[in-house]
Amino acid sequence: MDLELPPEASALLDAVVAIGSDLDLRGVLSRIVETSCRLTGAEFGVLGIVDDDGKFIDLVPNAAVADRFDKIGLMPEGHGLIGLVPRERRAIRVDHVHGHPEALGAFPRHHPDIDSFLGAPVMVGEQAYGHLYLGNKRGEVEFTATDQALVEALARAAGVLIDNARTYEQAEWRRRWLAGTAEIGSDLTGSSRVQEALDELVVSLRELCEARLVAYVRADGDVLEIRQVAGDADVAADVIEQRSAAIHDVARRRTQQRISDAPGRATLIVPVETRLAGSGVILVEEARETTSLRDVMIDLVAVTAVQFGLILDRDQALRERTQLLVARDRDRIARDLHDLVIQRLFATGMQLQGGRNLEPEQMRGRVDAAVAELDVAIKELRAAIFELGTGSGRPLLDDVRGVLGEYASVLGFQPVLRISGPVDRALLPASGTHVLSTLREALSNVARHAQATAVSVELTASPAWFRLRVTDDGVGFDPGTVTSGLGAMSMRSRAEDLGGHLLLTSARGEGTTVEWVIPSVG
């Protein structure tokens, strides 16, 4: 037989079914608030979401009050009636707010004036996910006991629906991460493909986390190198400088850090562990964070860091293998050339010895020709042996790090280094010497004149150009009034001798940027 339910029970069942039809967590929360308002006749409603410490981190209002809450711009602090619900951990019904002893008095600006009030906790298991607040029952009457029972029942059902939606959100987030990174790193042939793979990883991570900035930062002693950046690259150096203490701590301790920036926003710093490529971190600046994604997000950033480390180690192993093969080949060629010199000397000696019985004039001609030939051969072979046997052997980046470490004590702070492209393979050794000289000149100028508190050094290599950029936040100067000095002529001369140019940008009170560009070897 058909069972006829009371109107309130039927409305509650319909509401639960309607809420459960939405898998999106934000959609579920909005439906809970709208349904609560509809069941009780409340004019205003909001679901305040809290973190593990009970602090409000997000608000989900009903449509009627959403624009007002955007204008308030404040998150509840848990005082007054707002805080009574979480303290009591039960539903609270108040006929007249202003007459209640917990009332604080005037509401914040743009907040609707509330007379009747009904609030209830929304629990997920034993943990409070948030608190539902309803205000001003339509018709200028008070909320009834039936309204309170409906809200309590809806809050209990909402806890289950929220838990399901959170599980779906976490699964969907993992699926998006897998889809975004599945093909990354499948082709690592050549250093350019390695850099592309790392670039794709940080871009994918930024999109997934909806972060302001994502960067891979290599921590080499006190020097921080920005190697990959996704987001606003112009602010990357400032962000890394601000987070430098946390970055060094994570790199040294090899432990994750989560820094709360604002409600729903957090910065994640995760160590990148390698065996060959040195220590570093992945920085996810101001990621969009929900309570359901907090643990999942930092776990998947950590997985990305492992993937980063594997790619870096593989690339470094291939580099070292190539260097070893080159070194062995150089040694072999040096030995062959050395043996060739000895054999030629021996053969020439035999040739001269066999000329004992020649006439003096013939002997003199043979000797002169042999001496001239041997003199030229020995000079050429000696130069080749010296070059092959010694070479520079030291990557440009190592020399740059040494210069930055040297000038840290002079400047009073550690400059931030940013690397983009295959810097170590972009220049001939002779050009690398000019790079170091220019860098020293630029840093010396900062130390002598700039009164700076921060300096960023950027090395960028492309198939056509190599760029050194040194930027400080010092007092700056007027380029129109400075015609010499500051080492500009020396730096410009070096660039022009190599087919490049120097661009000096500054203004009083706005710091200085030195941009030194020369052709690369492609």
Where in the chain are the domains? Answer: 7-166, 176-313, 319-389, 396-519
Looking at residue 502, its pLDDT comes to 92
Q: What secondary structure letter does DSSP report for 31?
A: H
Residue 428 near residue 518, CB atoms below 8 Å: no
Distances (CA, A) of 230 to 187, 205, 335, 406, 418: 21, 9, 49, 30, 13
| SS3 of the chain: helix, strand, coil, percent, to 5 | 50, 20, 25
What is the C-alpha to C-alpha distance for residues 212 and 423, in angstroms, rounded to an integer?
27
Do 7-166 and 176-313 have matching folds? yes
From the options 3.10.105.10, 1.10.10.10, 3.30.450.40, 3.40.50.300, give the CATH code of 7-166: 3.30.450.40
For 492-518, the pLDDT digits (tens) are: 888 998 899 999 888 888 889 999 999
For 234-291, the pLDDT digits (tens) are: 788 888 888 888 999 998 888 989 988 877 788 999 999 888 877 889 999 988 887 7
What is the C-alpha to C-alpha distance for residues 345 and 63, in angstroms, rounded to an integer?
97
Looking at residue 463, its pLDDT comes to 82
**Residue with token string 């050194």:** 468
pLDDT of 401 over the 70 cut: yes
Average pLDDT over residues 324-341: 65
Average pLDDT over residues 48-71: 81
Residue 122 near residue 157, CB atoms below 8 Å: no
Within 10 A of 376 (CB to CB), how many other CB atoms are there? Answer: 10
Q: What secondary structure letter does DSSP report for 427?
A: S
Average pLDDT over residues 59-77: 78
- What stretch of H or E contains 61? strand 56-61
For 380, the token pair is 């050429």
**Residue with token string 């220590």:** 279
For 414, the token pair is 């550690």
Looking at residue 391, its pLDDT comes to 46
- Cβ neighbours for 290, distance < 8 A, ≥ 6 positions apart: 25, 58, 169, 264
Rounded to 5 degrees, what angle do the CA atoms 30, 35, 38 make?
A: 130
Looking at residue 3, its pLDDT comes to 45
Phi, psi (rounded to 5 degrees) for 201: -65, -45
Residue 484 near residue 476, CB atoms below 8 Å: no
Average pLDDT over residues 148-177: 81
| Strand residue runs (E) in 149-195 | none
CATH for the stretch 176-313: 3.30.450.40
Q: Is the pTM of this model over 0.75?
A: no
Order of strands across the sheet with 223-231?
257-262, 265-272, 280-288, 213-220, 223-231, 416-420, 455-461, 465-472, 512-519, 501-506
Q: Which of 27-41, 93-107, 375-389, 425-439 has the lowest mean pLDDT?
A: 375-389
pLDDT of 385 over the 70 cut: no
Q: Which CATH class is domain 396-519?
A: alpha beta
Q: What percent of the chain has pLDDT over 70?
A: 79
**Residue with token string 């809420």:** 19
Closest CA to 150 of 245, 41, 263, 297: 41
